[in-house]
Amino acid sequence: MPYVNVGKENSTDIELYYEDHGAGDAVVLIHGYPLSGASWEKQIPVLLATGHRVVTYDRRGFGKSSQPTAGYNYDTFAEDLHKLVTHLKLRDFALVGFSMGGGEVARYLGKYGSKGVSKAVFISSVPPFLLKTPDNPEGVDGAVFDGIQKAIVADRYAFFTEFFKNFYNTDLLLAKRVSEQAVQASWNLAAGASATASLACVPTWHEDFREDLKRVDVPTLVIHGDADRIVPITASGQRTAKLIKGTRLFVLKDGPHCITWTHADEVNRELVEFLGKGIAKHAAATTRTEAVA
């Protein structure tokens, strides 16, 4: 299985598991909490079919990646992403982040700039700043995050059961847009994540990305459900769209947090339209190269 080394913890290598499929314009898909790159299964076939090279990876502490006890902050997450991009020698690639993954997109562009990045997509994402403060009254009260951490410490498995109810809005969408089995599969992924990562990632949800977003200078798409109970659209998606000039905001009516699953057709349609037909661009570039030769 393919891995990239991103550091060490004592005598142990820290490695990220990744998958790299297809050809054409590259798209890097960055998953949300507490899942893995496998959670993009409804997007990957569509992007491959439209001619894109699709790269997914598991954030440290999740999926098949190493489970260190350190490095759970967005500077490190962005650095991990940068090491993967460098390892794969990606050029002209799009960054697509879901939920926590939107933080990587923001911090990567804030820290490393947009060289090599063609487009950015934020889906149900945590930027710009979720924590309620005097200069951020639209945010979420800090007690909410404290409560989540206490619940994880008490019994993270029980926490995940409750978490996924709001992740998918199962009271409204179960057996309509998401099955019990799909919810269980998400729980299984979460249960396999590092206990350390499961807890340490919670404070990162209210990282302040406002300065990072000021540096975003590539075409940007924001997709968010207006019934998101995990990352409310008023505290996140709507504000991100306002902070990045020229951003397209697509709001999914009655969409929960995990619209990549419950509203996959709508999300995929927007993604493909925004990213373009990778195969057409790739074919045109090949034709031009052959003509010159």
The model's confidence at residue 284, banded by pLDDT at 50, 70 and 90, is very low
| Comparison of pLDDT for 75 and 287, the residue scoring more | 75
Residue 257 among the catalytic residues = yes
Q: Is 218 helix (H, G, I), strand (E, B) or coil?
A: coil
Q: What is the pLDDT of residue 65?
A: 98
Q: Which of 194, 228, 236, 263 is catalytic?
A: 228
Instruction: State the average pLDDT over residues 17-31.
Output: 97
Residue 146 among the catalytic residues = no
Listed residue (224, 264, 218, 257) closest to 240, CA to CA? 224
The amino acid sitting at 235 is A
Number of separate domains in the chain: 1
Listed residue (216, 278, 242, 288) closest to 53, CA to CA? 278
- Domain range for 141: 3-292
Q: Which of 39, 65, 66, 99 is catalytic?
A: 99
Q: Which of 52, 224, 257, 263 is catalytic?
A: 257
Distance, CA of 233 to chain centre: 16
Q: What is the pLDDT of residue 277?
A: 80
Q: What is the rounded CA–CA span in Å between residue 217 and residue 275?
A: 16
Q: What is the pLDDT of residue 88?
A: 98
Return the CATH number at 95: 3.40.50.1820
Query: Where are the alpha helices (H) located in the chain, listed in sequence order?
Result: 44-49, 74-88, 101-112, 142-168, 170-173, 180-191, 195-200, 210-214, 237-243, 259-262, 264-275, 278-292
Q: Is the pLDDT of residue 247 over 70?
A: yes
Percent of the chain whose predicted confidence (pLDDT) is above 90: 94
Cβ contacts of residue 132 below 8 Å, gap of 6+?
Answer: 138, 139, 140, 141, 142
Residue 254 among the catalytic residues = no
